[in-house]
A = this chain, B = another copy of it.
Amino acid sequence: MNKPKKVVLAYSGGLDTSIILKWLQTEYGCEVVTFTADLGQGEELEPARAKAELLGVKPQNIFIRDVREEFVRDFVFPMFRANAVYEGLYLLGTAIARPLISKHLVEIARETGADAVAHGATGKGNDQVRFELSAYALEPDIKVIAPWREWDLTSRTRLLEFAEANQIPIAKDKRGEAPFSVDANLLHTSSEGKVLEDPSQEAPDYVCQRTVAPEDAPDTPEMVEIGFERGDAVAVNGERLSPAMLLTKLNELGAKHGVGRLDLVEGRYVGMKSRGVYETPGGTILLAAHRGIESITLDRGAAHLKDELMPRYAELIYFGYWFSPEREMLQAAIDRSQEHVSGTVRVKLYKGAASVVARWSDHSLYSEAHVTFEEDAGAYDQQDAAGFIKLNALRLRLLANRDRRLRG
């Protein structure tokens, strides 16, 4: 790879990406462009501007964008149409944010004439894969720099030495090493590493910082009604909200009731297992509610096909293939199913749980006339069931006859 001349860096303003910034300048002697995104991680972004300037980034090379609405509308919501969970549990909060960041990195590279992008993900994790597959899919000849895979700053001590030698300010609480690593955005907060590395040990209380513990949640349940249109949530308790505002609202409700905590071991794309603690308060409510509205508006054939496709779809997102033809094919199938997924779901929040208790819709396929135990006025002829069963049984009977024949 030829040396890059101009690099767009995914820059948080924190110590690690500041070190990367400086390292890119010194190691490659290249111009650095910074991209700082508001993904709803709950941090102010303007300090990142000041810090980038301090580190010598030209003002016109500093890009700060609020991408919260784009994130929820174009990434989170399409994914929730699929009821996507990875390995049965994980709501993909980190995985779904990475392609969005790469999309902006590539766009800014085009705008600024940069020939490379850089990110702060390590060589052991999934995020490097997600960043890079997305970048290559959008800009096939872009250079990608992953300093953690390249440099020799392989210990905390050396990192701090490098920071000091390069006048990078070090916040006092960053002197010591964090007891675990955190990633946050509007959908979730994940924690992993260090104190969490032994999966036989319970996660310490202090790990979860976004939601209250179920034990500390209110003793009284709270009901929330979520309105859907064509598969996407559009209203909370009757109030229409933009995608990001809606998820923010659900996050508040979920956090208050201790909803969405998860402690699991997952299989990384790079081959090892890792333990993570996730908090997805609003997303957990949304998933339950979406399944709830689908339960009355989605045909069984469509619903079962969706369920069969989902694990693959979730795997693709987890592995980093958001911008791939096969993810887009699955999305087309899923979106095709959502035309009538409209209506309202009531969810009960209580001590960590989000439980659907009622659902209604103009688009409902539920037919009380058919299902009733009462007289159904001819809606359904029970005699039909006899033929239905007889023909479905035919091949099983032919099998049983063969077995009997062969046994003699």
Contact = CB atoms under 8 A, between A and B. Distances in A.
Contact of A370 (B87, B328, B384, B394): B394
A389 to B, nearest CB: 5
A171 interface: no
A358 B133 contact: no
Contacts of A139: 400
Interface in A323-357: 323-326, 328-330, 332-337, 340, 346, 350-353, 355-357
A172 interface: no
Contacts of A303: 87, 267
Contacts of A304: 87, 267, 311, 315, 326
A68 B351 CA distance: 34
A190 to B, nearest CB: 14
Contact of A388 (B181, B358, B387): B387
Contacts of A201: 358
Contact of A366 (B132, B265, B393, B394): B265
B271 A363 contact: no
Residue with the highest number of chain B CB atoms closer than 10 Å, among A311, A359, A390:
A390
A98 interface: no
A136 B381 contact: no
Residue with the highest number of chain B CB atoms closer than 10 Å, among A154, A296, A387:
A387
A270 interface: yes
Interface stretch (A25-33, A40-48, A122-130, A245-253): A122-130
Contact of A140 (B312, B334, B404): B404
B87 A396 contact: no
A58 interface: no
B325 A302 contact: yes
Contacts of A366: 199, 265, 272-273, 275
Nearest to A391: B388
A261 interface: yes
Interface in A351-387: 351-353, 355-360, 362-368, 370-373, 375, 380-387
A227 to B, nearest CB: 14
A148 interface: yes
A301 interface: yes
Given A295-B273, A333-B333, A398-B271, A388 B325 contact: no
B397 A273 contact: no
A325 B267 CA distance: 14
A198 interface: yes
A401 B140 contact: yes
Contacts of A174: none
Contacts of A398: 140, 271-272, 299, 365, 367, 370
A197 B372 CA distance: 7
25 contacts: A123-B383, A124-B385, A132-B393, A136-B400, A140-B398, A146-B385, A199-B360, A261-B355, A265-B295, A265-B296, A265-B366, A266-B295, A271-B394, A272-B367, A274-B371, A302-B326, A329-B333, A329-B336, A351-B351, A363-B402, A367-B398, A370-B394, A383-B387, A384-B387, A387-B388
